[in-house]
Amino acid sequence: MEILNYTKAHKDFRKKVREFLKKEVIPFADLWEKDKIVPREIWQKMGQAGFLSPTVPKKYGGPGLDLLYSIIIDEELAKTEQYGLFAPLHSDIIVPYIITYGNEEQKKKYLPGCVSGDIITAVAMTEPGAGSDLAGMTATAVENGDEIIINGSKTFISNGIHCDLVVLAAKDPAVENPHAAMSLYLVEDGTPGFSKGNKLNKMGMCSQDTAELFFTKCTIPKTNLLGEKGKGFYMLMAKLQQERLICSVMAVAAAEHMLEKTISFCKNNPVSGKPKSKSQVNQFTIAELATDIKIGRNFVNKLIADHMEGKNVIIETSMAKYWTSDMAKHVADKCLDLHGRFATLERCSLLRNWRDIRVMTIFAGTNEIMKGIIAKSMGL
């Protein structure tokens, strides 16, 4: 079933991405996990190879390619067994805010660096007391002449250590409506009053540089307002469709990779003189997992096509985000079962995948939030 029209150029591009990751990323995944961070240089190598922000228009230093090129990169990265190089967040979730809402000066200033890897981005929404409920955030942004004074803290910020540019959500305390009070701002690393906390030690995605960010009388020029003042909440909501779609792409690709490795393991590891793949119970488990993955793949591919056509599929992407992340978690769990005792060893890469996958049901809006959105759309 062909839903997406991958051209020869797309297929050739996938080969180049695979070759690059095979040489520059996969051999170092274990080291990066041990060091609990990826080197900054890999971002620049990604940029030099043309694998960062491929949808940035040519006039701003980008390749000006369609979203399928981003999908290819995201799928292949999901198979590298490390999430430290969180390029999908940078390229397909954060940079699009600048493409869509940035003014000409902002686009010319930041987008070329986002493509080259000289600028790594982060988005700062989550706070210690406000996660999925964006309206509950307390970080403030107060105008003072030609400047804006920001106070507050953010947590669980991916790319938080390496980031050079932060898309920050903060409120005007003078506006009572929490949605109308929110705006987005561009804050550069090195800005007085902006500091980064220690990297957070997590259950999974250990090489991903997740951190706390602190803003104490952080002063930025008013020209660093991204888009219209008071429209921040609505700007965030408008971009959630692609964000949740990208999360679904990563979940399906990770599930495909885990099952592929598990099938190979079962074929090449005997039990009582026969390969594990010859056990009917194992065959049935693998068949069930393959079916779930195929259902998820076709659903996500259809949403990619709809999204690229400009259709409103926010409800459907909410469905996909919760279902595919739950599915990937289930696949990881069952793949560990099929690996048996070997799965208890740290050298079993599926164990790392199992830990990494777990957070997918939480970020980009918890799966409970996704179900709430779906229920509301049904008039419940």
Q: What token pair was written down for 63?
A: 């390749």
Q: Which helix (H) or strand (E) holds 214?
A: strand 211-221
Query: Is 212 designated active site?
Result: no
Gap between the Cα atoms of 194 and 214, Å rounded: 6
The residue annotated as part of the active site, out of 33, 76, 243, 316, is 243
Work out the number of other CB atoms within 10 angstroms of the CB of residue 312.
Answer: 10
Contact status, residue 218 vs residue 148, Cβ threshold 8 Å? no
- Distance of alpha carbon 355 from alpha carbon 347, whole angstroms: 14
- Show the DSSP H helices in the chain as ranges: 8-24, 29-35, 40-49, 67-77, 87-88, 95-101, 104-116, 232-268, 280-308, 314-339, 349-357, 367-377
Contact 142, 148 (CB under 8 A): yes
Report how far residue 120's alpha carbon sits from residue 209's, in angstroms, rounded to the nearest whole number.
12
Contact 348, 261 (CB under 8 A): no
Separation CA 52–CA 256 (nearest Å): 23
d(CA 128, CA 135): 13
Q: Rounded distance, CA 345 to CA 164, Å?
A: 37
Collapsed DSSP state (helix, strand, coil) of residue 175:
coil
Contact 3, 302 (CB under 8 A): yes
Instruction: Write out the catalytic residue numbers.
Output: 243
